[in-house]
Each structure stands twice: as structure tokens, then as C-alpha cells.
Amino acid sequence: MSPELGDKDRLGVGHGAHDGARRMADFDTWLRVHRANAENRRSFGIVDGPIYRDIDEPNAVLVHTSTDDPVRAAQWLETAAFKESTHVSAMLRRTFYTVTES
């Protein structure tokens, strides 16, 4: 499901959490798949930013991305390539958030 985004929103993704709500089965597999899809994300106007890995939960990360067209960027989340990458990377759960610039 895509988050609802407005014109000035930024898209972020949390993979993992201290409470176990968001994590992947294996960080190295997830990172390989994530990097392999960089061009796919770029084609939807998504600019990759830093990846923050939780030091206490190594299979939990926060991925920071940005875009000038959040509505277009959210369309990436509905593609077969995104869904396949989620399956291949053994993503167990994902949380989306947006930050609106004022």
C-alpha cells in the first residue's frame, strides 16, 4: 500500500524497529537487493540518501530517501519490481513515513 503524499512531502522507509515491528531476515541480502534497485528508484524520481542501521538490532534499518515528486515516487511501491525485491530480500515488515518541508 502506498502512503498518501502531497506535493511537499518527502518519503522515508523504516525497516525494523526495537519492538520487532520492522525488520528483515538478513541485512546483507536486503542491502544487496536494495542497491540493485537503485536505478529503478531513480526512474521514479527517488534519490537515495543514507541508510541507518540499528546497532542493537542488526536487521533493523532506516532508509532515508527524497524526491521532488512524491506522488510519482510512491508509484514505485506499486510496481512488480518493488514487490519482487521485497520478496527476494526477505523483508518481514516495512513502515513508511513522510516529512513535509515548510
Beta bridge partners of 61: 15, 53
Contacts of 53 (CB under 8 A, 6+ apart): 27, 60, 61
Specify the pLDDT at position 94.
Answer: 75
Q: Per-residue pLDDT for 17 more than 90?
A: no
d(Cα 66, Cα 55) in Å, to the nearest integer? 24
- Give me the residue label for grid cell 518519503: 11
- Which SS3 state, helix, strand or coil, does residue 1 take? coil
- pLDDT at position 49: 87
pLDDT of residue 70: 82
What pTM does this model have?
0.74
More reliable by pLDDT, 22 or 102: 102
Q: Which domains does the chain show, CATH number per domain?
A: 9-100 (3.30.70.100)
**pLDDT by residue (tens digit) across 31-48?**
999 999 999 999 999 998
Residue 13 has pLDDT above 80, yes or no: no
CA gap 47, 70 in Å, rounded: 11
